[in-house]
Structure 1
């Protein structure tokens, strides 16, 4: 009998590292531990920016596990893979720090089947049940059509500010995984599909009970246009 060992992908490793880092910081911040409060204040300054744009944050997040071979097998990441993973961790963690600001409970929460917390589901929760809020949708579409990671980070920042205002949680480990995938060759379409699927699949409990359908973005806005 042959046993197959599942080796984590680059994006899965980025997501796992992000989830561990944020969970620890979040717990410490909610416990009002000074080092976590100070770390969040610093991280917020990097929200909407790439890793290379904020050298004063280098070393604040322990991305050491990305530099090591997986414990269950596999090779070390090459330079391109490491850069993608580090950028994904940085963008996700800094956006979370902005999201967590002044919130009394954790804004990073795991995505679950019964409680979807992917990006698309979070954006859908910003809208009235059974309806589409065009200004919110336009922000979502603009993020999906971002031409590079720096622009994507900035447009996600705008969405996170809205999520914070409505106390809507997001799975930042999952977001980091998707941001890493977004940077891979051919990965942008896959990441967009995941965000769109998350948006379309979300139902409020009342909508689920009634069997209602989430309106398609194309019924309200031309998603092929980047409303810059």
Structure 2
């Protein structure tokens, strides 16, 4: 990104949630800044600017920036006060919600209804509002259920394209309704066995 002095400012090449947090989880002040983006337009919160990878020098709010803004804010809600990283690759939204559905923390009907409301949202603002509630429910599990925020970013980008939104909905539904507890990934099944 160019400045008026002609120098180039580099944006981070990796999304905030993809950075190396093996030694230290995201800072509370950064998460607070990102949560400040909830219900705000992409690019409108100066404290978020350093954390964008899709910010354009002309200030145009692209579908990528809008999706990244929402994913950053949702990640910050999810990560708040957690002792492990809430970004987990390969855990799509439908899969995370399926795990919430079988957790026993909420009724199956309640999870179905809330997830269905997100999947059938007719605007970007509406889907993000529903996702905020779903992320709060994922946080409520003990331990909290992580989610792949890179996949969510891509889904939210595609949600804004009328030709792609149907594929996002199908993917969420397929993950949600084909999940079987006994067919969990080995690391998840192993974690459950370790608890017993």
Match for residue 128 of structure 1? 102
CA contact (8 A) 2:79 2:85 kept: yes
Structure 2 residue corresponding to 1:165, chosen from 140, 156, 175: 140
Q: CA deviation at 1:201?
A: 2.4
Aligned residue pairs, count = 168
Match for residue 117 of structure 2? 142
| Partner SS state of residue 51, structure 1 | coil
Query: CA 1:207–1:187 in 2, change beyond 3 Å: closer, same or farther?
Result: closer
Query: CA 1:201–1:19 in 2, change beyond 3 Å: closer, same or farther?
Result: farther
Q: Are 2:85 and 1:106 equivalent residues in the alignment?
A: yes
CA contact (8 A) 1:108 1:171 kept: yes
- What is the rounded CA distance, in whole Å, between the counterparts of 1:126 and 1:172 in structure 2? 17
Mark the runs of 5 or more structure 1 residues left unpaired by the alignment: 1-16, 69-78, 112-116, 209-228
CA contact (8 A) 2:95 2:179 kept: yes
Match for residue 36 of structure 2? 45
Deviations 1:118-175 (A, max 9, x none): 1011111112379x71111111111111121111111100000000111001000000
Q: Are 2:49 and 1:59 equivalent residues in the alignment?
A: yes
RMSD after superposition = 2.9
- What is the rounded CA distance, in whole Å, between the counterparts of 1:143 and 1:18 in structure 2? 29
TM-score by length of 1: 0.64
TM-score by length of 2: 0.74
CA contact (8 A) 1:18 1:89 kept: no
Q: Does 1 or 2 have the higher relative contact order (CA < 8 Å, sep 6+)?
A: 1
- What is the rounded CA distance, in whole Å, between the counterparts of 2:175 and 2:13 in structure 1? 20
CA contact (8 A) 2:94 2:176 kept: yes
Superposed counterparts of 1:87-102, under 5 Å: 87-102=66-81
Q: Are 2:176 and 1:199 equivalent residues in the alignment?
A: yes
